[in-house]
Amino acid sequence: MLFRLFLTQAVLAVACLLGAALPASASPNILLIIADDMGLDASPCYPEGIEKPAMPTLERLCREGVVFDNFYATPVCSSTRATILTGRYGFRTGVGAAVGRNSSNGLPLSETTLFQFLDRYAPQYAHAVIGKWHLATADNGDVDHPRLAGAGTYVGIVSGNVDDYDYWPRTRDGETAMVEGYVTSVLTDEAIAWIDAQGERPWFLWLAHIAPHLPLHLPPGGLISDRGLDGSPDSMRQRPRDYYFASLEALDTELGRLLQSIPQPVLDNTVIIFIGDNGTPNRTVQPPYERRRAKGSLYEGGIHAPLIVAGKGVTRHGVREQALVNSTDLFATIANIAGIQTRDAVSWPEDSVSFAPLLAGSAGPHRQYAYSELFGSPGGGNSGRARQLEGHTIRDGRWKYMNTVGGGEELFDLAADPYEQNDLLASGELPVEAAGALTDLRNEIARLLASK
């Protein structure tokens, strides 16, 4: 069984040498599901937040797999996607904020993407992106950018959001046309059809839903529980969180439909990775997070996101893992699951640390720091609140350091103050251990930025 290959680095190296002799059916399928703007307070698998959406499919994955308690993304959609796709921090790729179609901050085609990496080192894999892309600009390929970046198949929304969940622009391999149909359901239909077409070939599917990203809307009745929502503008103004949760409930229903559609032998050979790409929007965020410390900020409410992994090779069931994980780490982890194992044999991205060993045990390399950043607002502008929030942050197992344009330096003891209510630098007098942590974190930031 392939999950045994995750137990030690020595066995991983042997697996790499033997990989070419394995039949294609021995390679696990990989399903990466991205929920857009789903923070911890909106996830039923995490304690943050008083209210939760009904998401039984996700809750089942939590019971059957590993829930990562310390997964860190970036504050906005595009930059998190770029870190996953390249395994590199944004200051290296230039993607540090939401990408605007008419701006110049898209993902450069000079970057080696995960799809290109698989093509080179695990060519047995078919791969596709279905759903939101949000890395293209008019001058880097636009609607053809996913193909140019290596995606074997692309169907979805090239830009950052839709104006209407029921009438939206679908791009398929470089051609865009308006589509009628609930976007979460249509993307699920596309995923089902693509998986079914792969036959015996192993596959990697990047399924990036628009939901629960704004605009607020009322999903079809068959996808959600009865919340007493009527879809009127007044109702949406008065109950934004209920509509946000309804979007998540619809996503969960369609996730259940997708998993049920996969033949059991294929599903048994599939690793399922579910993430949120950043925190909850300030319009729908709930305590312990605050409106100005949600999506778009480097506070915990903006970058601390859900990560759940279940399926093939995941032998830790219902376990909560405390190791630090960065969104960059999904690159190396997915590559490991696909059978690419020995760092000496390939050119790995410098910011990606595989957490694949944690799926079957606690042994394996753990990162010491989790890093995030925000810079360069869409269109190249740097004014207003977006500019004030720009900066970077880093944490270790206990301490978190932030340095932003608007807030300057801040230091938090996350062990005692997980929701950042007490900036230790504000008092002007630091305990000895906090002062040492501050020096270490500043030095690590400087080392990282100097490595560009």
- Per-10-residue mean pLDDT of the chain, 452 residues long, equals 32 33 64 98 96 97 98 97 98 94 90 97 97 93 95 96 97 94 98 97 98 96 91 95 97 98 97 98 95 95 98 96 97 96 77 95 86 78 64 97 93 97 91 95 96 86
Residue 49 main-chain phi, psi, to 5 deg: 90, 140
Kind and range of the H or E element at 243? helix 240-261
Q: How far is CA 71 from CA 150, 255, 307, 409, 437, in A?
A: 26, 22, 6, 23, 21
Kind and range of the H or E element at 206? strand 203-208
Instruction: Give the amino acid at 389.
Output: L
The residue count for the chain? 452
In whole angstroms, what is the distance from residue 400 CA to residue 415 CA? 10
pLDDT for the residue 16:
37
Q: Three-state DSSP class for 278? A: coil
What is the DSSP code (8-state) at residue 4?
G
User: Which sequence spans correspond to the domains of the chain?
Assistant: 2-372, 398-450
Residue 215, preceding bond cis, omega within 30 degrees?
A: yes
In whole angstroms, what is the distance from residue 101 CA to residue 385 CA? 21
Is residue 354 a contact partner of residue 360, using CB atoms and an 8 Å limit? no
Is residue 114 a contact partner of residue 335, using CB atoms and an 8 Å limit? yes
Beta strand 391-395 with 370-374: parallel, antiparallel or unpaired? antiparallel
Is residue 138 a contact partner of residue 215, using CB atoms and an 8 Å limit? no
Rounded CA Rg of the chain: 21
Give residue for tokens 């560009």: 452
pLDDT for the residue 140:
87
- State the DSSP string of 303-367: HEEEEEEEETT----SEEE-S-EETTHHHHHHHHHTT---TTTS---TT----GGGGT-S-S---
Write out the two tokens for 148: 């140019």
pLDDT for the residue 226:
86
Domain 2-372 is in which class? alpha beta
Give residue for tokens 């394996």: 364
Give residue for tokens 């993304």: 73
The stretches of 19-76 forming alpha helices (DSSP H) are: 56-64
Residue 265, number of CB atoms within 10 A of its CB: 9
Report angle CA 218, 223, 227 to the nearest 5 degrees: 55
Bridge partners of 274? 33, 308
Total H helices, total E strands in the chain: 14, 15
In whole angstroms, what is the distance from residue 97 CA to residue 90 CA? 9
Is residue 153 a contact partner of residue 197, using CB atoms and an 8 Å limit? no
Label residues 413-448 b or e (16+ Cβ within 10 Å = b).
Answer: bbeeeebbeeebbeeeeeeeebeebbebbeebbeeb
Kind and range of the H or E element at 408? strand 408-413
What is the distance between the terminal CA atoms of the chain, rounded to a whole angstrom? 39
pLDDT for the residue 20:
32
- CA neighbor of 2 nearest in space, from 206, 22, 17: 22
